[in-house]
Amino acid sequence: MIIYPTLELMNGKCVSLTRGRLDEPVIWHRDPVTVAREFAAAGASWMHLTDMDALAGSGDNDALVAEIIRAAGIPVQLGGGFRSRERVADWIDRGAGRVVVGTMAAYDPDSLRALARSYPDQIVLSLDIFQGQVMTHGWRDASAFAPDTFLDAFADSPLAGIIVTDIDADIEDSDGSVGVIAGLAAKTRHPVIARGTVRGVDDVARLRYVPNIAGTLIGRALQARDVDLAQALAVARPEAGEVAPAFI
């Protein structure tokens, strides 16, 4: 299972959102570029970066995002406000390892399918669920889609993965609930990346045994030092299996 240590940017600063509200960020007084390098130094193979200002349609963190991509030393999975083919293509050209698309997939599914064909294994679908509905525009708007229908619409697209967020669990600060995510993971052939489920290392250990969950994003818990990244990576690493004896 891949651990994606996560940075969320707002006004050039590292932040975490309180119950998804853009107007109440928790600000972490750390240099984002330094934090990205620390992720790589701890042994992470990927990191996730969300530009919250782009998600809200405001601000300009582009120069900082580009610097993080150059300096991180590991591939960057980038999300935040990707609502046109041109913006997705631009950031892949600028070095993003993957781009995360959510709202555009709900409103222009043909564009999402076309992007997945043009950039196979570089497009990640974001599926945010609240009270049984797919949410868009940074959890603010309810779409007309049920999660199962949304997944089925992209079943044949060559996606790199699907990030699934159970917003109900995130808002209620439940103890790493994975019920909704596990149910959806069983219904797709795409690797599922869980979001909002890890508040301690024990949650990482539990996720390892959920079929088709290929990774998890860890953001606030790392910034608050509730989770040590090196320890989480060790827990997520597959256990060495028995090796068959060699025949001479």
What length does the chain have? 248
Give the DSSP letter of residue 226.
S
Catalytic residue at 8?
yes
Contact call for residues 108 and 87 (beta carbons, < 8 A): no
Q: In the annotation, is 172 catalytic? A: no
128, 166, 170, 203: the catalytic one is 128
Question: For residue 190, which phi and psi values (nearest 5 degrees)?
Answer: -75, 145
200, 227 contact by CB (below 8 A): yes
The residue annotated as part of the active site, out of 8, 53, 170, 203, is: 8
Per DSSP, 74 falls in state S
Q: How far apart are CA 152 and CA 188, in angstroms?
A: 8
* DSSP letters for 68-89: HHHHSSS-EEEES---SHHHHH
Cite the active site residues: 8, 128
